[in-house]
Chains A and B, each alone.
Chain A
């Protein structure tokens, strides 16, 4: 299990290639990459603030829970903070398992929890200024699935 919180960019392809590479008991790898989206065509950058210390412990707790609930061989979570440009990867999760159902479900679970329980806050900056992205009720409701 690997959890990384960093400002630097990461290479999704390279991360995925090296993920669980030394295991031969894996039949499925699922990954999700979150990307900075420019909804209205005016986004200059996305500022991601986080709570150093709590961020790492909250993500580790979520990843550990996924490892306990599903038969996973490995879990990877990378989440960035700081200023990001449209199109840049914000974060990724990857799960590895013997079978695909566990890998898909665990990745979905990780994403739902990272969305609402990992201490990150996004601010969209345009030429008109900055505005904080509001959490959606649907994101909180999504946790009830688990």
Chain B
């Protein structure tokens, strides 16, 4: 699964994207798995209310299932316009 990061999430984790081999059932499970890896992930995911998630480029929820998903993106609330 391709995992992509934007804005300060990307800076905190130190990567724009990576391939993650996971059996995580939901977005929350994936976050728990990544946070357990290294401190920089735990720091980026410390406050999930400050984050948004997109599954295959559609905004989604943290309890959404990951079955069949190819790309997960984590980023702060958007500031377009």
Contact = CB atoms under 8 A, between A and B. Distances in A.
B76 interface: yes
Interface of A is mostly: mixed
A133 B75 contact: no
A66 to B, nearest CB: 14
Interface residues of A, number: 26
B3 to A, nearest CB: 13
Interface string A105-146: 000000100111111111100000000111100001000000
A51 interface: yes
Interface residues of B, number: 16
Interface string B1-44: 00010111000000000000000000000000000000000000
A51 B16 CA distance: 11
A114 B81 contact: yes
Given A117-B59, A121-B6, A51 B75 contact: yes
Given A51-B75, A121-B6, A132-B7, A91 B80 contact: yes
Given A79-B80, A114-B80, A121 B57 contact: no
A116 B57 CA distance: 15
Given A119-B6, A121-B7, A132-B7, A140 B81 contact: no
Interface of B: 4, 6-8, 54, 57-59, 73, 75-81
Interface of A: 34, 49, 51, 53-54, 57-58, 79, 90-91, 111, 114-123, 132-135, 140
Given A51-B57, A91-B81, 9 more contacts: A116-B77, A119-B6, A119-B54, A119-B80, A120-B78, A132-B76, A134-B79, A135-B77, A135-B79
